[in-house]
Amino acid sequence: MTAKAILIVDDDELRCELLAELLEDEGYDVRIANDGEAGLADISSKRADLVLLDIIMPRIDGVRFLQALTQKVDSPPPVIVISGSVDSIGGKTLEEMGVARTVRKPVDPVDLIDQIASVLGESPGTDG
């Protein structure tokens, strides 16, 4: 069985590395893009089963990434936003923008793994 591919789009390199290590330990194939522009380029050329997305980033932020995702990819993957406080942007809720879930910062690793498994239709991990 092929590992599910997760694309992390976040400008915080340390958080990306920590999340990648956590997710790789859970058996996921992880790629990192450090801004929305790099994330859109990556997802346009390679399949991703899920995107973990920060909202506040340079160049193309998370909102513009979400808007462009549906234009760049025929069947966009589900998106989990990792945010400190954002629930709505410009009067639209994240759910209205197509976001599957929102995970609060600081990220609880067990909660994140459970949310990812739920969005991907998998059973949550039994570790820990």
pLDDT at 96: 80
Determine the structural domain holding residue 50 and report its residue range. 5-120
* C-alpha span between 44 and 72 (Å, rounded): 6
Q: Answer yes or no: is 25 within a domain.
A: yes
List pLDDT tens digits, range 45-97. Answer: 999 999 999 998 888 989 899 999 988 888 999 999 998 766 656 667 778 88
Q: Residues 33-43: what's their mean pLDDT?
A: 95
pLDDT of 126 > 50? The answer is no
Q: Answer yes or no: is 126 within a domain.
A: no
Side-chain half-sphere exposure of 98, counting CA atoms within 13 A: 19
Q: Answer yes or no: is 104 within a domain.
A: yes
Angle at which helices 36-45 and 62-72 cross, to 10°: 20
Q: What 3-state class would DSSP assign to 27?
A: coil
Domain count, the chain: 1
pLDDT at 125: 53
Q: Answer yes or no: is 113 within a domain.
A: yes
Look up the CATH number of the domain holding residue 74. Answer: 3.40.50.2300
pLDDT at 81: 94
DSSP 100-122: EEEEESSP-HHHHHHHHHHHHT-
